[in-house]
Structure 1
């Protein structure tokens, strides 16, 4: 069995332990639909389905019109109730489509409702059964009371071993010593190892007979009920077969999902689309404890693994085949989600020595027999351990080169391990072949259980022999026999591996630098987008404020009321003063030679020392200032705020003096307001207003109005020559 060959038996057994009942681990049907439903189930918190016995036997009885036992009927009820429970949820997608197809016939509701959670018929379902159960309970209590009455009998006390009731052969008995027959009429049920007797008093025996009669009556009632239920179930036999199969399907889903959650495993969905790009990423073989994770690309048609003995070549082969097998049947395992697995019809593992005395077959002949079967297959992945096993390595290398090239044409992927370099050398130039070397630590003289793609690995046979305590003189003598020329070839292979590893390390370092550069570019791009967005925001704000000011001016032009026109113009003037551009607080990357400014002083940045900067001003002075206090001046053009310009035609009649004598206060204030607005539009900075002295009422009204006017800077009483206390000099 391939599961055993790949050393994933324990992994599979852990998954099987989560099943509600024993079944084949393989999940038949469209794996893409299965994967979608499992993902949808993962979004719900559902109770675990109940443990259920296999129902193939009971269904055969129903087909033959046989009567099921009450406990067999309850096994069907457990399945039906669980699907009733699932129907309470609002599922979506493929999960909803599947569950909605499972419609439980109304004829089965009576059977489902007849049982309690322990598999017993509920009270009230059958009056006859309830009556018998009540009598059985009363009879049982009577037996108990009778026994305790016998135990407390004075005549029996000397013969009692203890005051307990002992259950022997399903009967409640007393333990007594020899001689009891003089004081107690009873039936001996058994004898203890100490020579005491277990006895059933005759007075209790009568009650026992009544109990037996009640039990027989209960069996007759239950039989009638099961016969009725079996008849109903037999009519629904096709549905029962269907829902029994669907329950196993759901059992596959929930067990796999729970298995993945418990162990933090991932589901890897195999796909034909992945056949051109297949890789394991951080895969850990289930059979290894504290295993090193393996990342390997096995996209090419032939993967040839060479290198050190006991360096993990076989386990790498098993890892690739195990990942393919577990993905094929949607079994979760330890790996990164970026792992890609292709879809294969068949998985073969040629790992063991096929030699068999019984079949009179040699090792090499057995290998040839297994390879001959591959020529009738396609769309298959095959793992071959020690491919040249059992024959001359040079002859085998030539033979297997041709065999592998033929199998490549049949869309068969082959994972091969070998210690012989000739076959690897023959296939090295083939673009469909990926060479992988198991890495050996030269300094520590131990395998690293890591792998390098694109090169051939040494076997390190001499080093391994020495590591396992073969005498050094024997190893050195073997090296002499091996020959200097072959040893030099090994050195070349090792040098090639070292260069390949160095090349891969440099590529990895370069990839990290490229990734860092990409991150910096992204940060700069994000920063630019943020600044552009801020500029657009400021521009929109200015345009909005400008539009509002223009609209206010348009309103003023349309109004006939001079007073309201002046009030709106004053409001526009105020809006113009409030328009500001918020300053960007980002730190400036200043350098020597930049034009800068400090407050209102502009100059040239001539030196930077730490956080201090020296600036030569436009007037020729040199200032030492904090670098953070400087701003650019002229290097980077800044967006200028749009200024609001209000052009109003200058009135033809503008007066520098206004006489309010003889006017009422409200009339005088209205004329004063118009006079000031006309004076502002005419460009006058100072005007003279006559109000007279009189009662002082008009003078106070003028002063109060001037205090509240936004365009009046100040006002004072005029000089004696200009009118004294009866006039005001107003500055605008």
Structure 2
């Protein structure tokens, strides 16, 4: 049944390629927790590994070991291959859920020792048994003796007249010489064959004796091999449970690695079956198509009815939906946008596609279809695909019958994909909220199918247009149009008009989505640019703070100086320090967009991606990431409305800011006004400490000054000046 569905869905080639990646044949289904298997497969994405060796099915070996049978050395080597591969995997030190699973597999010491008994080609190492080394050495010496003996004979002057050629011939795996009649006068030999030309294949008597000796050596070797196999089989029988466990683990990993290799080789993605029965495909490509047009379809309802143009891909859409669900069910990779694809879980997937007519069973097309449908009423949670649903009977009668049958199957949780050319059934089902209509789109202008689909409408079959396209005379097609009837043709026109409006709406929506995507990219780019500028601003602020800290330090040193010259000298130094704090306006980057032609140094290319301060451009097929500041437009720049620029200039006060203010003799109002301006100038100059003289007198002026300072937002604090700077008659203000 599985093979039949694979053939119906055109997945035979895909499955053959997949099974070629397995270490040994096995069912496609992985027994156990599917979500856990999915995690293991995804964990394998992070690992670079070599494929497992090809191994034979070991179930018969385990059964014979259980009966204390002796395995052959070639069978024992199959066990060694499995053990060695797990030792290799464990040495990879994988750090994820897969690594945790491998770490739990502890290989017993006797099994590890077994893996050291064979070389990479499956031959026993000589250290396994001391007899092996001597017997193999004897065999090699005997072979060399045979070679040298034959060589002497071929170069013998006595035998030369009887030799047909100077080659060693192999007859039934026996070394022989090709000689003429009369050879027995110079050499004793046994004839083992004869040519049509009358020549003889012979084995010299000396060679026969050496071969007899070799046979004795081989016999003794076989005895040693049997002894080793017997001892090893006894040991394997003691570890039979472990061998069955690691054999099952090997099959499990084989499932994972073959799927991962398939995904890597063909650039495929995995989609885990989810709860529910909804199906949403995004850019799915059927594996059987060499140049597929990706399919995106929303099949969240219970029934999907596909109508429209002949040869427009309706059947392939049906097969694509069923194939995607089947691949997901078996955790096999597929070509799709995995992030946007959603596939529900189904107990079974069935395809009613082929014509069931069978002369041998005396069954008609429609009767066969009814038999296939009757089986569905006893099932639930099944995904079914039905191609050409009204096949084999009157379409009007079939429409009523199938409408009732479909509605009943839906109640039994059967999800159905249907293709049909007949609009009656589609029209009858259109009002059902559980039914989704999809139409294959036809290009009226070029009169060809587009192999694309629109949801929500009934498609016209374009039978007349297809007939004309494939060479049916136009006058015959015109007669058919008349017979078809004007009222039905008007219905087709309405269907086509609806399809056209739907296509236009679809195209506008697609363009709008592209614009939204472009705006989102631009928004992300400006956010990145804003973050970059904020970082630069923060760094510049720290730099300015350091400069102003140095300047104010020099000012404080000036305040502490006793003579006027020293004060002016320190103030001049502070002024020079402040001059270093120049803020340059950032370079305005020219506005570019993806697709713009640009010049970078001597290269001309096209922008294919943009970031805040860099762009990716393509130059003669080579992609480069370059700074935006080094790009220039190549060709005509895009027209854009001129934008008004606003510049802000900060000018320093022409009046020189001082660090001392004398308020003697002023009324309180005048003093406060002068003090306010003095503090503002000091703040602009970057001073963090100034001195205000107000005298002692009646203390009114001092009180007014200190009241003002308490309320000033930029004043951090104030206190009486030291005795040498005015004492109680002056106040030191901290800004």
Length-normalised TM-score, structure 1: 0.77
Q: Secondary structure of the equivalent of 1:12? A: helix
Q: Secondary structure of the equivalent of 2:91? A: coil
The within-5 A match list for 1:38-77 is 38-77=41-80
Listed as ranges, the gaps of 5+ residues in structure 1 are 590-626, 635-639, 653-676, 684-732
Aligned position for 1:423:
425
- Counterpart-to-counterpart distance in 2, 1:524 and 1:59: 67
Q: Secondary structure of the equivalent of 2:349? A: strand
Q: Secondary structure of the equivalent of 2:296? A: strand
Task: Check conservation: 1:280, 1:294, Cα contact below 8 A.
Answer: yes
Task: Check conservation: 1:268, 1:330, Cα contact below 8 A.
Answer: yes
Task: Check conservation: 1:576, 1:644, Cα contact below 8 A.
Answer: no
Aligned position for 1:621:
none
Aligned position for 2:624:
none
Aligned position for 2:326:
325
Q: Which sits farther off after the overlay, 480-489 or 536-545?
A: 536-545
Aligned residues: 611
Query: How far does residue 470 in structure 1 lie from its aligned partner after superposition?
Result: 2.4
1:41–1:526: structure 2 CA closer, same or farther, 3 Å change rule? closer
- Counterpart-to-counterpart distance in 1, 2:134 and 2:99: 45
Choose the corresponding residue for 2:22, options 3, 7, 19. 19
Query: How far does residue 463 in structure 1 lie from its aligned partner after superposition?
Result: 1.6
Choose the corresponding residue for 1:435, options 434, 437, 461. 437
1:100 is the counterpart of 2:103: yes
Task: Check conservation: 1:178, 1:197, Cα contact below 8 A.
Answer: yes
Choose the corresponding residue for 1:468, options 454, 467, 470. 470
- Counterpart-to-counterpart distance in 2, 1:567 and 1:249: 88
Aligned position for 1:578:
577
- Counterpart-to-counterpart distance in 2, 1:390 and 1:584: 80
Query: How far does residue 476 in structure 1 lie from its aligned partner after superposition?
Result: 2.1
1:518–1:224: structure 2 CA closer, same or farther, 3 Å change rule? closer
Aligned position for 1:198:
201
Query: How far does residue 144 in structure 1 lie from its aligned partner after superposition?
Result: 1.8
Q: CA RMSD in A?
A: 3.3
Aligned position for 1:113:
116
1:294-345 CA-partner distances (Å, limit 9, x unpaired): 2222222211110111111001100111111112212222223333222222
1:539–1:226: structure 2 CA closer, same or farther, 3 Å change rule? closer
Aligned position for 2:487:
485
Task: Check conservation: 1:160, 1:177, Cα contact below 8 A.
Answer: yes
1:450-491 CA-partner distances (Å, limit 9, x unpaired): 212211111111222222222333222222221111111111
Task: Check conservation: 1:269, 1:327, Cα contact below 8 A.
Answer: yes
Aligned position for 2:214:
211
1:564–1:214: structure 2 CA closer, same or farther, 3 Å change rule? farther
1:534–1:130: structure 2 CA closer, same or farther, 3 Å change rule? closer
Query: How far does residue 522 in structure 1 lie from its aligned partner after superposition?
Result: 4.4
Aligned position for 1:503:
505
1:341–1:642: structure 2 CA closer, same or farther, 3 Å change rule? farther
The within-5 A match list for 1:81-100 is 81-100=84-103
1:470–1:203: structure 2 CA closer, same or farther, 3 Å change rule? same
1:363-420 CA-partner distances (Å, limit 9, x unpaired): 2222222222222322221111011112221222122222222333333321110011
| Bigger Cα Rg | 1
Aligned position for 1:631:
647
Q: Secondary structure of the equivalent of 1:356? A: coil
Task: Check conservation: 2:554, 2:574, Cα contact below 8 A.
Answer: no
Q: Secondary structure of the equivalent of 2:691? A: coil
Deviant stretches of 4+, over 6 Å: 547-557, 562-570, 627-630
Task: Check conservation: 1:143, 1:207, Cα contact below 8 A.
Answer: yes
Aligned position for 1:311:
312
Aligned position for 2:686:
643
Length-normalised TM-score, structure 2: 0.77
- Counterpart-to-counterpart distance in 2, 1:566 and 1:362: 120
Q: Secondary structure of the equivalent of 2:383? A: strand
Q: Secondary structure of the equivalent of 2:450? A: strand
1:524–1:87: structure 2 CA closer, same or farther, 3 Å change rule? closer
Query: How far does residue 525 in structure 1 lie from its aligned partner after superposition?
Result: 4.8
- Counterpart-to-counterpart distance in 2, 1:575 and 1:405: 90
Task: Check conservation: 1:588, 1:631, Cα contact below 8 A.
Answer: no
Choose the corresponding residue for 1:377, options 379, 390, 393. 379
- Counterpart-to-counterpart distance in 2, 1:297 and 1:165: 73
Task: Check conservation: 1:543, 1:642, Cα contact below 8 A.
Answer: no
Aligned position for 1:512:
514
